Amino acid sequence: MNDRIREILSWYNSENPGIRTNLARMLNHGRLASTGKMVILPVDQGFEHGPARSFAPNPAGYDPRYHFQLAIEAGCNAYAAPLGSLQAGAADFAGDIPLILKCNNHDVLNDEKDPISALTAGVEDALRLGCVAVGFTIYPGSAERTEMYEQLRELTLEAKSVGLATVVWSYPRGSSLSKEGETAIDVVAYAAQIAAQLGADIIKVKLPASKVELPEAQKVYQKYEIPISTLTERVRHVVQSTFNGRRIVIFSGGATAADEQVFNEARAIRDGGGFGSIIGRNSFQRSQEDALKFLGTIMGIYEGSTK
């Protein structure tokens, strides 16, 4: 194991060797192995948005095994999915790629203003399926956030005790936030901090926009002239807000975007000190051939990282 991976693992030295082992399994897997960067394939859109919205663009994706194969062939560090999807491939692909079991999920059949995801899996499932981590989504800003934080606290406590890593999707949403506020730089940085405080080992947030949502925060960003005008600067601020870079924080681009935009975002993540990308729809909603090329380009960007 090289020094960079050892350095990253040293940030987790209050955790047991099991957690560090599982973090190492992800960091040392795939094309980006030992770079300290990660590209993770997540596929929970079937649950979150419905099957046709998710898989009609590339019907191969209706088969859960497709996504295992895609992640493996692309050389992703890990593959993340809900219980059903993982169960549909865990046996066939046992040992081929680190798995993250997404333990809560939300559908849009009743899209409330203050959402909360349902607990759909847990630590026993993750162990049974050979996963390296559990995943969990929180919606800071939702009136239901207290319930979610407490569910995450229970999940994390149990996961830590059996040496599983915890990956938290921290997505601000809820009646008290404007739509733009969900990706405002202050809100995204806050969401990353909350996930870190709740004990997350790996944190996933959306790429932040330059807007500042909260008036009290705005005063501070202005007074201290925190640089947030470029995406690279904003990534750097989020990394700083995540224990000054001592927790792995990765970024998602959200909905489908033009390839070049995604590549530029990856460059900004890389240059801002981010640890990588979690890319779902942009990769599995195109043909496998295109997806492999697309993901390859992104990984190439991260390989060029000086750190």
Whichever of 221 and 263 has its CB closer to a copy of itself, that residue is: 221
204 is catalytic: yes
How far apart are alpha carbons 37 and 49 in whole angstroms? 28
CB-count exposure of residue 122 (10 Å: 0-12, 13-18, 19+):
middle
Asked if residues 224 and 175 have their Cβ atoms less than 8 Å apart, the reply is no
> Can you state the angle between helices 3-10 and 17-27, rounded to 10 degrees?
140
Determine which one of 204, 206, 223, 293 is catalytic: 204
Radius of gyration of the chain (CA): 18
Which residues, numbered 139-158, are part of the site for a copy of itself (CB under 8 A)? 140-143, 145-147, 149-150, 153, 157
Q: Does 42 interact with a copy of itself (rule: CB under 8 A)?
A: no
Q: Does 297 interact with a copy of itself (rule: CB under 8 A)?
A: no
CB contact burial 282-305 (16+ within 10 A = b; e otherwise): bbbbbebeebbebbeebbebbeeb
Q: Does 301 interact with a copy of itself (rule: CB under 8 A)?
A: no
Number of H helices, E strands in the chain: 14, 10
Q: Does 73 interact with a copy of itself (rule: CB under 8 A)?
A: no
Q: Does 194 interact with a copy of itself (rule: CB under 8 A)?
A: yes
Q: Does 178 interact with a copy of itself (rule: CB under 8 A)?
A: no
Output phi, psi for 48, to 5 deg. Answer: -75, -35
Which residues, numbered 88-107, are part of the site for a copy of itself (CB under 8 A)? 88-92, 94-96, 105, 107
Cβ at position 84, least distance to a copy of itself in Å = 4
Q: In terms of Cα–Cα distance, which of 261, 147, 232, 166 is closest to 204? A: 166
CB contact burial 19-34 (16+ within 10 A = b; e otherwise): bbebbbbbbbbbbbbe
Of 4, 31, 120, 296, the one binding a copy of itself (CB under 8 A) is: 120
Whichever of 129 and 292 has its CB closer to a copy of itself, that residue is: 129
Whichever of 125 and 271 has its CB closer to a copy of itself, that residue is: 125
Which region among 221-229, 271-279, 288-296, 297-305 touches a copy of itself (by CB under 8 A)? Answer: 221-229
Q: Does 125 interact with a copy of itself (rule: CB under 8 A)?
A: yes
Q: Does 4 interact with a copy of itself (rule: CB under 8 A)?
A: no
Active site members: 204
